[in-house]
């Protein structure tokens, strides 16, 4: 039995922990507890619930309005780990700046970044988006088509990046990716970057933008990028999607083709 005096001595420690990590507790509450409860009550996934909201609140054929509706849902209803408006500005600016003709996205999720990139691409460009979870891919497909992008502009590929990347040339006709956006499992970033290199899918000057390199982080990926001598890199400091109190960042790297 713990004496009341010892228990009281721990109170300041517990309070300081709660204050220090309040944003993470809130994230856990919104991303995990609320999701569990609503999954149980509705019998459908949070991504399907988000799509129902999009269907009733967004303007079909208007990509930006669909993104704004996603943001409203994620701020005020349920947390979705979409890219969010702050990081969207970084991605959109880069797409306009680089004007890539071929884009590879790893991790479609609900199609938020897919729509953002598709509406910023130059005429005739094509986006290939890879999602391993068939349920999330089904939601993304509906969202992408609702935004007005057909299969000629956005090809959604269902499968794990490890299986899909080696088949991109032969099966999907993607011979080189001018721009790669990584937002799938962070532990796969390094493996997939090396797969892209091994299959000669990166032209010299290709840009790779990798999300969440601070939260939850991809330290081995960053170490490799910094040490291998094949890339120029910079970090865009930002906050976690829909959580201004949690630090995060995006790594922008450029393939130099050396050494
Ligand atoms: Ca992300």
Based on the fold, state whether residues 40 and 106 are members of the same structural domain: no
Q: What is the mean pLDDT of residues 197-207?
A: 97
Count: domains in the chain: 2
Quote the pLDDT of residue 28: 86
Residues of the chain with pLDDT > 90, as a percent, come to: 80
What does the DSSP assignment read for 93-129? HHHHHH--SEEEEE--TTSHHHHHHHHHSPTT-EEEE
Handedness of CA 34, 36, 40, 42 (dihedral sign): positive
Q: Is 141 a catalytic site residue?
A: no
Whole-number Å distance, alpha carbon 165 to ligand 1 midpoint, is: 20
Based on the fold, state whether residues 102 and 58 are members of the same structural domain: no
Q: Active site residue: 48, 71, 183, 192, which one?
A: 183
Tokens coding 178 = 């001018």
Q: Which of 50, 76, 102 is the last residue of a domain?
A: 76
Whole-number Å distance, alpha carbon 69 to ligand 1 midpoint, is: 18
Quote the pLDDT of residue 14: 78
Based on the fold, state whether residues 70 and 189 are members of the same structural domain: no
Backbone angles phi, psi at 174, to 5 degrees: -95, 110
Q: Which of 76, 96, 113 is the last residue of a domain?
A: 76
Based on the fold, state whether residues 59 and 138 are members of the same structural domain: no
Quote the pLDDT of residue 184: 97
Residues of the chain with pLDDT > 70, as a percent, come to: 99
Helices (H), 106-205: 112-120, 134-146, 161-164, 168-172, 189-198
Whole-number Å distance, alpha carbon 153 to ligand 1 midpoint, is: 22
Q: Pairing state of beta strands 207-210 and 243-255?
A: antiparallel
Whole-number Å distance, alpha carbon 4 to ligand 1 midpoint, is: 44
- Looking up tokens 């960042």 gives 249
Tell whether 171 is covered by a domain.
yes
Domain containing 123 equals 84-255
Based on the fold, state whether residues 208 and 239 are members of the same structural domain: yes
Better pLDDT: 26 or 87: 87
Quote the pLDDT of residue 6: 75
Q: Is 150 a catalytic site residue?
A: no
Q: Is 186 a catalytic site residue?
A: yes
Quote the pLDDT of residue 10: 79
Quote the pLDDT of residue 220: 97
Q: Is 211 a catalytic site residue?
A: yes
pLDDT tens, position by position, 42-91: 999 999 999 999 999 999 999 999 999 999 999 999 989 899 999 999 99
Q: Is 152 a catalytic site residue?
A: no
């Amino acid at each position: 039995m713990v004496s009341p005096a010892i228990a009281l001595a721990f109170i300041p420690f517990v309070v300081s922990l709660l204050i220090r990590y309040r944003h993470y507790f809130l994230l856990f509450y919104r991303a995990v507890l609320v999701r569990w409860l609503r999954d149980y009550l509705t019998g459908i996934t949070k991504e399907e619930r988000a799509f129902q909201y999009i269907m009733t609140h967004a303007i079909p054929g208007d990509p930006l309005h669909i993104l704004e509706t996603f943001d409203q849902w994620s701020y005020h209803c349920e947390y979705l780990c979409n890219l969010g408006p702050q990081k969207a500005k970084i991605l959109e600016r880069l797409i306009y700046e680089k004007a890539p003709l071929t884009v590879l996205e790893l991790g479609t999720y609900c199609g938020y970044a897919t729509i953002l990139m598709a509406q910023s691409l130059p005429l005739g460009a094509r986006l290939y988006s890879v999602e391993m979870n068939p349920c999330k891919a089904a939601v993304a497909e509906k969202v992408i088509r609702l935004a007005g992008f057909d299969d000629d502009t956005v090809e959604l590929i269902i499968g794990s990046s490890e299986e899909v990347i080696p088949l991109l040339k032969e099966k999907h006709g993607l011979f080189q990716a001018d721009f790669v956006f990584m937002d799938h499992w962070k532990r796969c970033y390094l493996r997939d970057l090396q797969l892209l290199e091994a299959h000669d899918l990166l032209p010299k000057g290709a840009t790779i933008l990798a999300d969440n390199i601070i939260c939850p982080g991809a330290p081995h990926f960053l170490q490799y990028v910094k040490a291998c001598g094949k890339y120029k890199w910079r970090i865009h400091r930002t906050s976690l999607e829909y959580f201004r109190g949690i630090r995060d960042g995006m790594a922008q790297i450029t393939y130099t083709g050396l050494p």
